[in-house]
C-alpha cells in the first residue's frame, strides 16, 4: 500500500508507470469523487516542490477532472461533487492544452485520497530503463565511491534526488548511526552549464552555516560522472507533509504550538542573514521536523550572497539563472529578477508562518506578483491578536520597502514583543537625561541659601 504522495515520487523516479497511477487514481475517484480536491492539492504541492514537471502536473489534473465529470455525466448519485468555480476555469484551461495553467487545488476538507493499492517494493533498477528518473545513472541498491549504499529515496527536488544511504565505512567502524542523506544531481540539472558549481556552492555555504536549525552538510564529491553531496540524515518528516497531514485538516495550529516551529525556522534564516546569505528558495519542502522535535532548514541550493558582500561568487555563478524559484513562496522582487535581500526570505517565512497558523496559504498559493496586481490581502486568522496579525501582514507586504526589515523583528512582533531600535534607545536615553537634569534644578532651587553659600568645613579628630 502506498500513499498518493509516495506514488507521485515513484512516478518521478521511474518506479511507477503513469498509466498504473492513473488507473489507481480513477479507482479512488470512482469510490469517492470528493477526493478530487485532495488529488489536486497533492498535485499542486508535487509541482511546487519540483517533484513533477508542469506538463506532467497538468496532464494528471486534466485526467482527474475528466474522470469526475464523466462520473457525474453518468448520473451516479454517489458521484455528485460540487466543482468550485476556479476548478471549472482550470478544467477549461487544461482541456485547451494549457500546461502551465494556474494552480487551483484547495484543501481536502478532511477527505483525502489516502492509501492506494500499489506495490512500490520494486527498486528503480527493476523499472524499465526508459522510465527511470531523468536518466539517472544511480538507483536504490547502488554504491557510490565504494562507500555509500543507496537504500531508500527520501525525496525529489529541482536539483536532484535525495537518498537515505548507509555509510559502509561507518558500518565497518561499528558506528551506531551509519546513515547519511545523499543528494545526487539529476541528469536534467547536470546539463545546465553551472550545475556543478551550484551543488558545490550549496555544500560550501552549508558547511559554513553551523547552526542547530540548519541541516549539516558533510562533503561534496563525484563518482564516475555522478555528482553528489552528503549531509546529516534526518529522521522525521518534511514540513510540507506535516502541513498536509496535520495542519490543514485542523484548520491551523494554536499559536503556542505553531510558534516554536516558526521560531526555529526564523533562527536558521536569521543566522544565514548574519553571514550575508539569503536562502532564496525557502518553502515547506525545504524545512524538516525531526522525531525529536528539532526544526531544520535545508537545501541552500540556490542561496545567494547579499549584494556587495562577495562579488567574486557572482562572477562565477549566478543561481538566479537556474530559475529554480517556487512562485507561491517567492517575493515579487525575486520573481522580477532583482538582487537578493533578507526581506525575500522574510516574505517566504511569513507565508509558512501563516500556513501553520491558518492551515492555508495567505494568498491562496498565488504568486506575489499576482497578489500585488489584484491587491489581495491575507484574511485575519481567528484567535490571533490584532498586533500579531499586523506582524504577519507586515512581513507579507508585497513591496520590499514596506516589509519587515529583519527576521528578529518579525519574530518579536509575532509573539507580541516590541524590539527596541537604536533610535528608540537614543530617544529614551535623551528623555532620561532631561528628567535627571530637571530634578537637579528643582533640588538646587529648594536648597536653603545659607547652606548653598556655606563653605565646607573639614574637621580632624584630635
Catalytic residues: 281
Residues 189, 159 contacting (CB under 8 angstroms):
yes
Report the candidate in 155, 153, 150 with the shortest Cα–Cα distance to residue 165.
150
Report in angstroms the alpha-carbon separations of 30 from 4, 78, 85.
Answer: 15, 9, 22
| Cα distance between residue 347 and residue 351, in whole Å | 6
Would you state the cell numbers that stand for residue 443, as one nine-digit string? 533640588
Contacts of 178 (CB under 8 A, 6+ apart): 166, 167, 168, 170, 171
CA-based nearest residue to 244, from 46, 27, 23, 28: 46
How many residues are there in the chain?
462
Q: Are 217 and 182 a contacting pair, CB within 8 Å?
A: no
End-to-end CA distance of the chain: 103
Report whether 416 contacts 387 (CB < 8 A): yes
Q: What phi-psi label fits residue 172: left (phi over 0), alpha (psi between -120 and 50 degrees) or beta?
A: alpha
Amino acid at each position: 500500500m502506498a500513499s498518493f504522495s509516495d506514488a507521485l515520487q515513484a512516478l518521478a523516479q521511474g518506479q511507477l508507470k503513469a498509466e498504473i497511477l492513473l488507473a489507481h487514481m480513477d479507482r479512488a475517484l470512482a469510490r469517492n469523487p470528493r477526493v478530487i480536491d485532495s488529488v489536486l492539492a497533492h498535485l499542486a504541492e508535487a509541482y511546487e516542490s519540483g517533484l513533477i514537471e508542469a506538463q506532467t502536473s497538468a496532464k494528471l489534473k486534466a485526467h482527474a477532472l475528466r474522470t469526475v465529470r464523466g462520473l457525474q455525466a453518468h448520473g451516479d448519485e454517489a458521484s455528485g461533487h460540487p466543482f468550485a468555480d476556479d476548478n471549472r476555469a482550470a478544467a477549461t484551461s487544461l482541456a485547451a492544452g494549457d500546461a502551465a495553467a494556474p494552480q487551483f487545488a484547495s484543501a481536502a476538507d478532511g477527505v483525502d485520497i489516502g492509501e492506494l493499492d500499489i506495490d512500490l517494493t520494486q527498486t528503480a533498477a527493476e523499472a524499465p530503463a526508459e522510465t527511470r528518473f531523468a536518466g539517472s545513472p544511480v538507483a536504490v541498491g547502488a554504491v557510490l565511491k565504494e562507500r555509500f549504499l543507496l537504500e531508500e529515496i527520501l525525496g525529489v527536488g529541482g536539483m536532484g534526488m535525495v537518498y537515505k544511504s548507509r555509510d559502509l565505512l561507518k558500518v565497518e567502524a561499528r558506528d551506531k548511526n551509519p546513515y547519511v542523506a545523499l543528494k545526487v544531481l539529476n541528469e536534467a540539472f547536470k546539463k545546465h552549464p553551472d550545475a556543478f558549481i551550484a551543488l558545490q556552492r550549496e555544500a560550501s555555504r552549508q558547511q559554513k552555516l553551523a547552526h542547530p536549525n540548519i541541516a549539516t552538510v558533510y562533503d561534496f564529491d563525484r563518482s564516475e560522472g555522478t555528482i553528489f553531496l552528503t549531509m546529516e540524515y534526518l529522521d522525521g518528516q518534511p514540513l510540507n507533509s506535516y502541513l498536509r497531514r496535520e495542519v490543514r485538516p485542523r484548520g491551523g495550529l494554536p499559536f503556542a504550538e505553531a510558534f516554536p516551529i516558526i521560531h526555529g525556522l526564523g533562527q536558521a534564516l536569521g543566522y544565514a542573514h548574519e553571514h550575508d546569505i539569503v536562502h532564496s528558495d525557502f518553502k515547506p519542502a525545504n524545512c524538516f521536523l525531526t522525531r525529536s522535535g528539532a526544526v531544520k532548514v535545508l537545501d541552500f541550493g540556490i542561496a545567494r550572497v547579499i549584494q556587495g558582500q562577495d562579488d567574486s561568487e557572482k562572477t562565477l555563478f549566478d543561481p538566479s539563472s537556474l530559475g529554480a524559484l517556487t512562485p507561491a513562496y517567492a517575493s515579487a522582487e525575486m520573481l522580477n529578477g532583482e538582487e537578493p535581500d533578507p526581506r525575500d526570505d522574510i516574505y517566504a517565512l511569513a507565508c509558512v508562518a501563516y500556513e501553520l497558523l491558518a492551515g492555508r496559504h495567505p494568498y491562496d498559493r498565488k504568486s506575489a506578483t499576482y497578489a500585488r496586481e489584484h491587491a489581495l490581502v491575507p484574511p485575519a486568522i481567528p484567535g490571533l491578536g490584532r498586533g500579531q496579525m499586523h506582524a504577519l501582514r507586515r512581513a507579507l507586504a508585497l513591496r520590499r520597502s514596506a516589509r519587515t526589515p529583519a527576521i528578529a523583528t518579525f519574530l518579536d512582533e509575532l509573539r507580541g514583543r516590541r524590539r527596541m531600535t537604536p533610535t528608540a534607545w537614543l530617544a529614551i536615553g535623551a528623555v532620561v537625561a532631561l528628567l535627571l537634569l530637571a530634578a537637579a534644578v528643582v533640588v538646587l532651587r529648594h536648597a536653603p541659601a545659607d547652606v548653598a553659600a556655606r563653605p565646607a568645613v573639614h574637621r580632624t579628630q584630635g
